[in-house]
Structure 1
Amino acid sequence: MQRITYRVKGSAQGAKRRISHLLRPSKRLLNTKSNIVSSTPTASGRFARTKKLAQVSSIALLSLPAQSLTTMNTKVSAYANVMLQNTLTIAAVPGDSTYFATDGFQHGFGFDLVRTYADELGVDINLKAYANEEAALKALRSGDADMALTTASTKLKSQLNLSSVNVSCGYDSSLTKNGLHPKVSWTFSSPNDPLSKKASYFLCDSIKLKNTQKLAAFYNQNLLKDAYSQDHFQKTLTEKLPDYQSSFEEQARNYNHDWELLVAMGYQESHLDANAVSPTGVRGLMMLTNNTAKAMGVSDRVDPYQSIGGGARYLEQMKAEFADVPKTDRVWFALAAYNMGPNAVKSIQRKLRAQGIDDKSWANVYAYLADNKASNSRYGQAMHYVSNIRSYLESIKTQTV
């Protein structure tokens, strides 16, 4: 079984431990730069872990309907283990509707939803990638994961005696109209486990369901589905990119960016046309305004190397403006700020904070843009700008066109 493991938020925990491991003496290795220190827990330490497990299990029991208490067996719930380990371990299959992870970029429709759920639980994520749905689901069944993120068929999940919750909570059209798989689901070992029940309440809450539908719009997969768009994109990359690739790569190194991200930005801005000019006066491959060009040290906006360098430097500044945003979302904040200015994005963040909403989540910022685009055209432009670049970047990296 081929498996690649990705860690989110620096989680140091491994696969889920069996309860028996908590009740007997064990050794834990602590890795430092050059030394490995072995320590054996004291009896009081083991007692503290066991006590914590009992407390978490009690919380899990209280979260269940009263009638289910009589049918509970003695097996520790997945929810209790997640809370004890402070880590939600996900078995996932890469895909355009689940998650995307290449060259330091880790995001995706299903992945962003899982991150939001983990944040609500107050735990980290340990993402394990599997080659196919069956392998991921078997990992869940064997206890190597707490839940699975897949597009597996109902038949396969039934054969493995697993239960699942569709992330759209039955509103499949909200996914299909955005080119996403209609059956993206979270799968669990038991429908009675609090982890599964809480997930169902989480996904089907009316407010969160609306946000899920907006997130689906951000991860729209239809941008390059029609023949004209595909042909134009491929022709541009084939005929124009070779002339500028070395400049993209060098300027990306200069400003610590992924060079293909800069290419995606260049395609969005000008379709890699170094002589492009807009009616508003922005010019060049990265379509810099005259003021931005001067601030970035660009003397000739139609010089490809200077234009790419100016765009790369400005993007670096935008990333620095949002250094407190988790890395997974920071690039989207930076791109939105690149398009509409950092103060506009920070204004949205302040409004979200005032409502008690996490202002460092791109999903929440995007939802705000979607809700208010009718009253502010800049919001709609920023939405399309960031989602288009995301789509181009994924296409370049996965070579789907």
Structure 2
Amino acid sequence: MGRIRTAIIPRLAILGLAIGLVRCAPAETGLGDASLADIEARGELVVLTLDGPTTYSREDAGPQGYEVDLATAFAESLGLEIRFETRRDIDALLSALDRGEAHLAAANLTVTPARRARVNFGPAYKAVTEQLVCRRGGPAPTRLEDLPGTRIRVLAGSSYEETLEAIGEALPELTWSARTAGSAMPLLDSVDAGTIDCTIADSHLADFARRRHPELVVAMNLTEERPLAWAHSGEVEGLQGALASWFAEAHGEGFLEELDTRWFGRFGEFDYVDVARFVRRVQSRLPEYRNAFEDAAESLPFDWEMLAAQAYQESHWDPDAVSATGVRGLMMLTLSTAERVGIEDRRDPFQSIEGGAIYLADLYDRVPEDVRGEDRIWFTLAAYNIGMGHMYDARALAERLGRDKNSWADLAATLPLLSDPQYYETLRYGYARGLEPVRYVEKIREYRAMLDAQGL
């Protein structure tokens, strides 16, 4: 079976989209599109954006990012290809929009009065809070009056500067510096390195950054929730109406909620001990096994990072791990499973990885064909934990309860019932600790996202 990069393909499968042409050179000035009909005649939507882990990044398999998926979905609804153009910072992006170098700017832009005076905004699609992010053990003001004297650096031209300017009206002694960048991530890196005391970041980026740098702490919220929206010049007739119509539909059909969950709902509640331990082991243990994970994943329907995340959930990448029930090794194989996949020594980490991958591929093939996309992967991982028989039981019970037996969300709500005699006594394979595979899959997804945050 062919290899699929999980971070790309399942999202596009759900969206039913194909990423269009992406170029990094500046677009020609003055697109000459006076109306949406002109854009449709050209067949291409040009979108300005910024480099950032929650916005846009270039990958071998194509561009990735929340804004990439969102803008591509809008372009697809109009039957258009999409071309993304990156700019070095927010000021350059808005200036390029002023010059007519693109139709839209999609870059996690906060709607502020100052920006409204300069550009037009489409409908809001997400709300974020601006947070003061500092380092554990260093200066971390929790009150506005304690901000003066703190070394604060923020993204140049950002809404964060506007926030500090407003605070500075009451605290004239407040000072800060600004840095040009595509996102606040380089500044968050600097806070972790101790180069500066604190920075400001939107809440979703702060949450992401803490999985890369667990020593970061959110000292306080500096604003209430504020909307994000796409910017445009207001000069293209029909574009604002198309945006309003499409976003209303995207809200109503749950597309925005789904996309939000995919990009920003990947993490559970922040657990400093667990995250810090994971980051240490990414550095100390993972390098020894990375090539083995990469090789084994060639035969799997998901990428090596997902396999590595599952192995971490199983054993914390400890080849000597053993449970009270007799499963052991990096992939915690039972003796019967090891024999079935041809593994002689479960304690050999490389044999264990190979055996675990073979077993996963077999489980994936045994998941009913009606289960598709990412759901099929979550079914497979859950079956690795609880057994395929109990997964079949859960599907049967979900159908009995009027739920979608092919949806992981519905199955995750059904699996815990396998420990209730009212239900398990009526099922073929009987009792199971049904909550365990649900938590198992949740943690694997979180560790997979944390590997993304490490920038591997």
Same fold (TM over 0.5): yes
Pair 1:339 & 2:402 matched: no
Q: Which amino acid aligns with 2:91?
A: E
* Correspondences of 1:123-202 after superposition (within 5 Å): 123-155=80-112, 157-158=115-116, 160-168=118-126, 176=203, 179=207, 183-190=227-234, 193-202=240-249
- 3-state SS of 1:397 partner: coil
Could you tell which deviates more after superposition, 144-153 or 106-115? 106-115
Are 1:99 and 1:107, in contact at CA under 8 Å, matched by a contact in 2? yes
Match of 2:193 in 1: none
Pair 1:277 & 2:335 matched: no
* Correspondences of 1:343-362 after superposition (within 5 Å): none
1:182 is displaced (CA, Å) by 6.2
Are 2:31 and 2:102, in contact at CA under 8 Å, matched by a contact in 1? no
1:214 is displaced (CA, Å) by 4.1
Are 2:122 and 2:232, in contact at CA under 8 Å, matched by a contact in 1? yes
1:86 is displaced (CA, Å) by 5.1
Distance 1:257 1:151, change over 3 A: closer
C-alpha distance in 1 between matches for 2:415 and 2:72: 26
Are 1:140 and 1:147, in contact at CA under 8 Å, matched by a contact in 2? yes
Q: Which amino acid aligns with 2:116?
A: S
Pair 1:396 & 2:435 matched: no
Distance 1:144 1:153, change over 3 A: same
Distance 1:194 1:104, change over 3 A: same
Q: Which amino acid aligns with 2:447?
A: I
Task: Pick the aligned partner of 1:233 from 278, 292, 304.
Answer: 278
Are 1:260 and 1:396, in contact at CA under 8 Å, matched by a contact in 2? no
C-alpha distance in 1 between matches for 2:334 and 2:91: 51
Match of 2:445 in 1: 387
Q: Which runs of 5+ in 1 are unaligned?
A: 1-6, 21-73, 360-364
Task: Pick the aligned partner of 1:302 from 334, 337, 347.
Answer: 347
Distance 1:290 1:208, change over 3 A: same
Match of 1:244 in 2: 289
* Correspondences of 1:100-139 after superposition (within 5 Å): 101-104=58-61, 107-118=64-75, 120-121=77-78, 123-139=80-96
Q: Which amino acid aligns with 1:300?
A: D
Match of 2:20 in 1: 11
Distance 1:10 1:205, change over 3 A: closer
- 3-state SS of 1:92 partner: strand
- 3-state SS of 2:106 partner: strand
Q: Which amino acid aligns with 2:455?
A: K
- 3-state SS of 1:150 partner: coil
Distance 1:250 1:205, change over 3 A: closer
Using CA pairs under 8 Å that are at least 6 residues apart, name the structure with larger relative contact order, 1 or 2. 2
- 3-state SS of 1:299 partner: coil
Q: Which amino acid aligns with 1:185?
A: A
- 3-state SS of 2:123 partner: strand
Distance 1:201 1:272, change over 3 A: same
Match of 2:52 in 1: 95
C-alpha distance in 1 between matches for 2:56 and 2:357: 26
Q: Which amino acid aligns with 2:124?
A: N
Q: Which amino acid aligns with 1:92?
A: T
Are 1:268 and 1:385, in contact at CA under 8 Å, matched by a contact in 2? yes
C-alpha distance in 1 between matches for 2:380 and 2:304: 17
Distance 1:19 1:136, change over 3 A: closer
1:274 is displaced (CA, Å) by 1.1
Q: Which amino acid aligns with 1:338?
A: T
C-alpha distance in 1 between matches for 2:313 and 2:328: 13
C-alpha distance in 2 between matches for 1:286 and 1:82: 52
Distance 1:121 1:305, change over 3 A: same
The CA deviation string for residues 358-400 of structure 1, in whole angstroms up to 9 with x for no partner, is: x9xxxxx5655677677563773365145213312212326xx
C-alpha distance in 2 between matches for 1:136 and 1:386: 37
Distance 1:75 1:212, change over 3 A: same
Are 1:286 and 1:311, in contact at CA under 8 Å, matched by a contact in 2? yes
The CA deviation string for residues 52-78 of structure 1, in whole angstroms up to 9 with x for no partner, is: xxxxxxxxxxxxxxxxxxxxxx9212x
Q: Which amino acid aligns with 2:312?
A: Y
Match of 1:33 in 2: none
Match of 2:265 in 1: 218
- 3-state SS of 1:154 partner: coil
- 3-state SS of 2:333 partner: coil
C-alpha distance in 2 between matches for 1:123 and 1:305: 47
1:201 is displaced (CA, Å) by 1.1
Match of 1:76 in 2: 35
C-alpha distance in 1 between matches for 2:44 and 2:259: 23
The CA deviation string for residues 109-164 of structure 1, in whole angstroms up to 9 with x for no partner, is: 44444455455555554444444333444444444444333223434643541314
Q: Percent identity?
A: 24
**What is the CA RMSD across the aligned residues, in angstroms?**
5.0
- 3-state SS of 2:455 partner: helix
**Bigger helix share:** 1
Distance 1:118 1:217, change over 3 A: same
Are 1:214 and 1:367, in contact at CA under 8 Å, matched by a contact in 2? no
1:307 is displaced (CA, Å) by 1.3
Q: Which amino acid aligns with 2:247?
A: S
- TM-score, normalization by structure 2: 0.53
Q: For this pair of structures, how many residues does the alignment match?
A: 318
Match of 1:68 in 2: none
